[in-house]
Amino acid sequence: MKPPRATNELSALAPFVPGLPGFSHADLFAPAGLARLQAAFVAELKHAAPGTAARYLALLERGNPTREEESWCISAVGLVFETFCARLFGADAALDALSQRALYFEILFEVRRDFVKRRAQKKHKDTVPPNATELDALALRLARELGGPCTGEHVELAFARMVKKLLAAEAAQATDASGAAATDALVQKLAALLTVPAESALATALDSMERFAAHRAHERGAFADWACLTLQHPVDHAALVPLVRPDAAMPNLFEGPLETRRDRPGFDLTDRRRSPAQVAAEIDTCIYCHERKLDSCSLGLHDKDGATKKNPLGISLDGCPLDEHISEAHRFQQAGSSLAALAAIMVNNPMCPGTGHRICNDCMKLDMGISGRKRN
């Protein structure tokens, strides 16, 4: 544990100056200052969306909004609120970076959806290629040669760009005679990299990448952190915890898989945190069911008569005990609007930094309870 910073160290920090004229740091802790801040936000909302502002103010005046009205308010006001807060706290550049990162992530998930799931999995599911190691090396080589990797970025992004190039070339050749000429440079480069005739280079590259993706979506190995290969998988409620029985003569002796074992030195956290891409990969699987008033992660799963459903273990699928607006938050975060996503959660859970999967995982039970499939 790090020792607390000394008082003189804290006093050496530059004082925070709000980005809105006429406000001071002290205003954020005073009722009168917060009232002026609220008025400034309402003025900005009226300027940006007069109709939304009128409905928002009517809800504030009436009080006790319904769940649907809360959802509307979050969705309609969230982005204006984010822009307002970003200017207040000087976070515009950081938010722009998050929005740009979301665009990069969308490339990964487009490849996961259109290439890995709908193409590679359908053709080569449960197939173990005899040349898996060679396919791994080829995938990385094509990513470097054709994906335009940038300094400091994960090679997975270059792989996704490379796959999109191959798919675009295939579509161009199939739909129009001029496509062959337009993709000739790519085909010639593929032929040289694969040492195959130009006529078969594109098909060979796509087939190899399909086999690579289908295999590594299940046997992750060195590609365990690749979000574009992260797929949902079936859940066996009778074997939620993977076990290894090292001695056949002692069937009651079991242990956890070595590859997922985490040593506990002292009282530090042992779970390895997900990368931003892996977190975004989980959010990308959300179906945003609040738009159909079916946000089961928040409200639970119910029969037609309103009774709460149970999973095969007899556990009630009640949803979030705090009624967090999970689907709305996912919608914002998927687009890179992290402040709006945080605000959506804090509507019903203002102490969210103190909660999470160590306190409650009811929403995760719903994730498994709805489709019988689990996110990696």
Q: pLDDT tens across 258-301, in order?
A: 877 777 777 776 666 788 888 898 889 888 888 877 788 888 88
How many other CB atoms are there within 10 angstroms of residue 356's CB atom?
9
Cβ contacts of residue 312 below 8 Å, gap of 6+?
237, 238
Report CA torsion sign: 344, 345, 347, 353.
negative
3-state secondary structure of 366: helix
What's the pLDDT score for residue 356? 66
CB 160 within 8 A of CB 147: yes
What pLDDT is attached to residue 369? Answer: 39
Domains in the chain: boundaries: 20-93, 96-225, 234-256+275-374
* Residue-wise pLDDT tens digits, 339-356: 999 999 999 988 887 776
> Could you tell me the pTM of the whole model?
0.82
CA distances from 133 to 137, 141, 215 (A): 6, 12, 11
Contact assessment for residue 231 and residue 217, using Cβ atoms and an 8 Å cutoff: yes
Mean pLDDT estimate for the chain: 86
Cβ neighbors of 181 (< 8 A, separation 6 or more) are: none
Higher pLDDT pick, 276 / 152: 276
pLDDT value of residue 372: 40
Nearest C-alpha neighbor of 338 from the set 104, 168, 86, 8: 86
Answer whether residue 359 shows pLDDT above 90. Answer: no
- Quickly state the pLDDT bin for 10 (edges 50, 70, 90): very low
Where do runs of H (alpha helix) occur along 90-183? Answer: 92-111, 121-124, 132-146, 155-175, 178-182
